[in-house]
């Protein structure tokens, strides 16, 4: 069964450093999502791509976060500089289209020291 791949699974970094997360969606899925999940809360959408275009980045802190999906396949989420409050699980999901079931990857757990 096809799965969404994410790497790394765990990342420890120091405050003010840059960090990047990678996501490879299920093959053929046009829509890709990045979520952030703070411990004890549900995931919160950061950005949604339709192919290579950003559809919604209204909750993305654009002063320090950036996301790209250059060829409409895999995607990278970057934080620069990282802050203590960025410690969370970063989840990637994909779907065949924007209104269809979303399939989530295992996430990247980030700890900022």
Partner 1 sequence: DAKTTQPNSMESNEEEPVHLPCNHSTISGTDYIHWYRQLPSQGPEYVIHGLTSNVNNRMASLAIAEDRKSSTLILHRATLRDAAVYYCILKNDYKLSFGAGTTVTVRA
Binding residues for partner 1 (CB under 8 A): 4, 31, 40-45, 48, 55-56, 91, 93, 98-99, 101-107
* Shortest reach from residue 16's CB to partner 1, in Å: 28
- Nearer of residues 81 and 89 to partner 1, judged by Cβ: 89
3 state DSSP class of 68: strand
* Shortest reach from residue 55's CB to partner 1, in Å: 7
- Nearer of residues 60 and 91 to partner 1, judged by Cβ: 91
Q: Name every residue whose Cβ is closer than 8 Å to that of residue 53 and which is 6 or more positions away in sequence.
A: none
- Nearer of residues 55 and 111 to partner 1, judged by Cβ: 55
Distance CA 79, CA 46 (A): 12
CA dihedral sign, ordered 24, 25, 26, 27: negative
């Amino acid at each position: 069964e096809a799965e969404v791949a994410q790497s790394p699974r765990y990342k420890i970094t120091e405050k003010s450093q840059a960090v990047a997360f990678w996501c490879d969606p299920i093959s053929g899925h046009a829509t890709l999502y990045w979520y952030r999940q703070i411990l004890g809360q549900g995931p919160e959408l950061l950005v949604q791509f339709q192919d290579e275009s950003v559809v919604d980045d209204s909750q993305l802190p654009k002063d320090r976060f950036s996301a790209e999906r250059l060829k409409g396949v895999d995607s990278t989420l970057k934080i620069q500089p990282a802050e203590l409050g960025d410690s969370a699980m970063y989840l990637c999901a994909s779907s065949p289209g924007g209104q269809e079931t979303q399939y989530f990857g295992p996430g990247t757990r980030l700890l900022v020291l």
